[in-house]
Structure 1
């Protein structure tokens, strides 16, 4: 895990992607101990603009980050405009951040199992209409493969998409599996031609000091915020 202290007077701890993104790309995920809230992160983190928040419902809907899409039902957001902040909230689901290799596009995806199975990654890439292999992906903090117990409906949903999904499941009880959300996301990204994938070694459930977890806290968890934007250049 790569963490750094944001260089301001508040010294908020943030998780920063360890990826070879272009110099104009800024990205981070808030950590539990910083207690950064949705309604204050703009000022707390000195962002270039107020993030455009989505009404996340585990869909496969991707929208462009424009004011008219604020609070719309969607689970992925993208932009090619500098200074526009894409943001998603998670607390066990997987935040996926994408950036174009030349820094022209960025996207943030809320990827729970339902979103992954219904094609939220594919929908986001299709919406940006850029050759997929030109994107880098970072997999942020999500529930790890030792803690994500799922039932048959989850197993069946992914195996129906691709037989290789079997490798992301380990039998746990007679009626459940342990699922590797990171591996499932990597499989979907690979299927779309994205090979440069980073992150994916966290566990929100186990790392209680750093992350919120919906399952661990039985629905009473806060949320981490994952943010990505393009800086103005020139």
Structure 2
């Protein structure tokens, strides 16, 4: 835990350059009430708007951010935008920047947040990787936005729903196998899926699926993974567990101003 970040955040454990800063909020420590209790950072889930604004202001203060994060209207697609410091919410599922002090952020509550940086500490990105985005190719889309080659990029996988609680249908399997880039990628996808308890249902491991996608596009330095949002109701929101009253955590990455 970084000594300047409050304990109700997660700090990625990865060998990122000193210029790269990152944190993941939990549901603890904010102003929201009811099912959104208490640190919901999403403005689109039905929470009181004043509480969300207060939570976002608290986030910026606690992380000593010099600019408001690039918030996104996430649509489970593959668009990755350049972050801008202009207070506009952009429709995309990923953001990338080389600007110092400008945070990229994604909101999740079971979907997988992926944080990326280059080994030189000059570029960062945040990806909202639910199964639809993963299957459709958001990982290679984000990696292609980096100036550095894939073998000079590292990734960290944040909290998401684990395979034990992520039962899916045949449509999800077909979506992944239809877009596999190679036989090796197909084999890795198959290894990430196991039979479910009902006919034609399966359990999918988002962490393994993300690692497969990263490996396919040449990113081998992958850290994190394995923290389940569904299992830990005290620290994390989970849409599959809590439904429409679920708030959202933020996964944020930025380049230090100095």
Q: Structure 2-normalised TM-score?
A: 0.84
Determine the structure 1 residue equivalent to 2:194.
Answer: 170
Q: Does 1:7 align with 2:25?
A: no
The whole-number CA distance in structure 2 between the counterparts of 1:22 and 1:67 is: 23
Q: Which of 97, 101, 120 matches 2:138?
A: 120
Whether the 8 Å contact between 1:6 and 1:13 is mirrored in structure 2 is: no
The whole-number CA distance in structure 2 between the counterparts of 1:104 and 1:69 is: 23
Determine the structure 2 residue equivalent to 1:217.
Answer: 242
- Name the SS for the 1:33 alignment partner: coil
Give how far 1:6 is off: 5.5
Q: Any unmatched runs of 5+ in structure 2?
A: 31-38, 42-55, 181-185
Q: Which of 113, 131, 140 matches 2:158?
A: 140
- Name the SS for the 1:178 alignment partner: strand
Give how far 1:43 is off: 2.6
Whether the 8 Å contact between 2:94 and 2:142 is mirrored in structure 1 is: yes
Q: Deviations over 1:120-143 (max 9, x none)?
A: 111111123431111110000000
Judged with a 3 Å threshold, the aligned counterparts in structure 2 of structure 1 residues 69 and 188 are, in CA distance, closer, same or farther, namely farther
- Calculate the aligned-residue CA RMSD, in Å: 1.6
Q: Which of 127, 134, 141 matches 1:109?
A: 127
Determine the structure 1 residue equivalent to 2:232.
Answer: 207
- Name the SS for the 1:122 alignment partner: helix
Name whichever structure is richer in helix by fraction. 2
Deviates more, 1:125-134 or 1:137-146: 125-134
Q: Any unmatched runs of 5+ in structure 1?
A: none
Give how far 1:47 is off: 1.1
Q: Structure 1-normalised TM-score?
A: 0.92
The whole-number CA distance in structure 1 between the counterparts of 2:3 and 2:199 is: 47
Deviates more, 1:146-155 or 1:34-43: 34-43
- Name the SS for the 2:148 alignment partner: coil
